[in-house]
Chains A and B, each alone.
Chain A
Amino acid sequence: MHGLRAAIEWQSRAVVGRHLRVYLKNWHTSFLPPVLEPITLLLAFGLGLGAYMSSGIEWHGRSVGYMNFVAPGMLAYATFMTAIFQSLFGAFIRMRYQRTWEGQLTTQIELRHVVWGEILWAALLTTTYVAIVGLVLSVCQAVGLLQLELAFLPVVIPIVFVAASAFAALGLCFTALVPTIDHMNLPIFLVILPLGFVSATYFPLGHPVLAAISIANPLYHLAEGLRGLLLAGDGTGHLAGLAALLAVMLAVLVPLDMRLLRKRVLGD
C-alpha cells in the first residue's frame, strides 16, 4: 500500500517531469517513430503481405481485411514495445550510465518514487505514441485504407495507459537483473520479441498450444480486446481478462522491482 501511494506522490511526478523535459528538448526527433512506424508497418504488412490474402482473414467467424486485422494489433504491439523498451533501455541508461537515479536519490526522492516515475513515464510516453498511431490510422481510414470503428479510439487511451504501466513494470524487472547493456539481448530475444509476435498482434493464433498459452498472455488480450473494440465495437471478454492480468502484474512486479532495484542501486 505504501508502495502504491508513492505513485501519486509529488516526487514521482517530479521524476516524470524530468523525463518529459528531456523528451521535449528533442521533440522533433522524438515524434518520428510513432508517426513513421505505423505507416511503415501498414504498408509492409497491410499492403505488402495483405496483397497475398485478398480474401482476408477469418476472425471470430467473419472475414476481415488483413489491414483491418493488423491495425488494432499494431496499437497493442506499440503499447508493449514502447513501454518495455523505455523501461528497459531508457531506465538502464539512466540508472547505470547517466547516474540520474543516484543524483535523484540524494534529494527528497526515494527509490519507490524513481520506480514509479519510470513506470508512469513509460506509460505516458506509450500512450502518447499510441495516440499518434491512432491519428495516423484515422488518416488511413479517411483515405479509404481502413474500415475501423474509430468512435472507440478514445476508449483505447486509458486501456493503453494501464497496460503500458504493467509492461513497464515487467521491463524494470529485466533492468534490475541484467548485469550489462549487452545482456539486454537475453530478455529481448527470449521473451519480448517472441511475446510481441505470438500474441495475435500481426496474425491470428490458430495453433492450439499457442491459443492455450495465450490465455495468460496480457498482450494477447490487449490485441484481441482492441481488435474487438475497433472491429466490432465490443471487446469486453478480452478486456476483462486483460484487467485481471494487469492487476496481478502490477501487484507482483512493482514490489519485485523495488526489491531488486534496492539491491542493485543502493546495494542494500
Chain B
Amino acid sequence: MSGMPPLLEAHGLVKRLGGRLVVDGVDLVCHGGQVLGLLGPNGAGKTTTLRMLYGFLSADAGVIRFEGADVSRQLSRFKRQLGVCTQEDTFDGDFTVRENLEIAASYFRPRPPAVGRRVDELLERFALATYAGDKPEALSGGFRRRLMIARALVHRPRMLFLDEPTTGLDPQARVAVWDLVNGLRADGLGIVLTTHYMDEAERLSDVLTVLAQGKVAAHGTPKSVLGDMLGEHVVVLPADGASRPAVATWLDAHGLGEPLTVLGAWHLPLSGEQLADFAHAFPALRYEVRPPNLDDLFLKLALPCTA
C-alpha cells in the first residue's frame, strides 16, 4: 500500500466555526482500496473534517490533494470523483428509490454513462430492486442506508465518504452495511469512514486516524494505535475495593493519571512492563487482564470532556 500514491491526502487542515477552533491542523492520508477510520468522541471534529474533505466546507488553512493535485484549484473536478453518504438521510422524498438514483446522477458532469443500466446494477447489488418504485420513506432504516450508499455510488466515484453509516441500525442491518463496505473496498474505492461503534471501526478500518479536540491524537493500524495510546493490556478491577488508594498512588507514581471508570470498575491500560510491575506491587489483588480495544481508547479520549 505504501508504494502506491495516496488517493486523498490532507495536510494541516484548520477550521473555525462560530469563532471556535473545531479542527486544528489535521493531517490524513487515504489510499485506493483502503478504509480510513476517522474516530473520536463527540465534538472531536470528525464531521467537520469530513465535510472539508468532501468539499462541503472550505478549510481556513491547510491543503487537500487528490492524486497529488490541490483540490481547491479544481473543486468541481475533484467532487466528480467523490461519493458522499451523510449521517442524516438526505434522499429526495419527492422521488421513488429509482428516481432518487437517477436524479443524483443528474448532479454530475461528465454525465455518468448508461445511467439506466448503472441504476439497475445498484438496485440489484444493494437489494433495493423490490423497492425501486417505492418512496424512500417506506423503507426500513437499513434499506434507507443502503439507498444512501447506492446514491453516493451512482456516478462511479473513486472515493467514498461514510459519515456514521450504521448509526441507529439493528445488528443485522449493520452487518449488511459492513459487507457492502467490504465489497466496495475490494472494488478499489478509497473509503473514509466515521463511526461511534468501535467494533465497526476495528473490523472495517485498515488504518485509523483518531481525533481529540480537533487534533490528530493517533494514526496507524488499529493495533498500533491501541498499542501506542493504551499499551498492550488492560487491567480491570473494582473501583471501590480496599486497595483503591494504593492503586491510585501506584498510578500516580507511574504517571498514568486518572483511571477509566466503567460501571464501577477501573480499567487500567498498561504496557507489558507496567503490568509486570503492577503484578509485583499487588500480588494479593484479584483482577482481570484483557487486551485493549477501541472502546478503551474512546473513553480515554473522552475523559477530559466528561470530567
Contact = CB atoms under 8 A, between A and B. Distances in A.
Contact of A98 (B58, B92, B104, B108): B92
Interface bin, chain B: 20 to 34
Given A14-B106, A17-B106, A108-B76, A103 B92 contact: yes
A108 B71 CA distance: 13
B109 A10 contact: yes
Contacts of A110: 75-76
A268 B57 CA distance: 7
A18 B106 contact: yes
Interface in A17-46: 17-18, 21-22, 25
Interface string B205-238: 0000000000000000000000000000000000
Interface stretch (B4-12, B81-89, B269-277): B81-89
A110 B93 CA distance: 21
Contact of B57 (A18, A100, A108, A266): A266
A23 to B, nearest CB: 10
Contacts of B18: 267
A138 interface: no
B15 to A, nearest CB: 9
Interface string B1-38: 00000000000000001100000000000000000000
Nearest to A10: B109
Interface in B140-162: 152
Interface in A66-85: none
Nearest to B78: A108
A104 interface: yes
- Say whether chain B's binding surface is mostly helix, strand, loop, or mixed: loop
A109 B107 contact: yes
Given A98-B93, A268-B17, A107 B57 contact: no
A186 B95 CA distance: 32
B91 interface: yes
Given A106-B54, A107-B79, A268-B57, A14 B86 contact: no
Contact of A106 (B17, B80, B90, B106): B90
Interface of B: 17-18, 54, 56-58, 75-76, 79-80, 82, 84, 86, 88-95, 99, 103-104, 106-109, 152
Interface of A: 10-11, 14, 17-18, 21-22, 25, 98-100, 102-110, 266-268
Given A21-B95, A108-B109, 4 more contacts: A14-B106, A21-B103, A106-B54, A108-B107
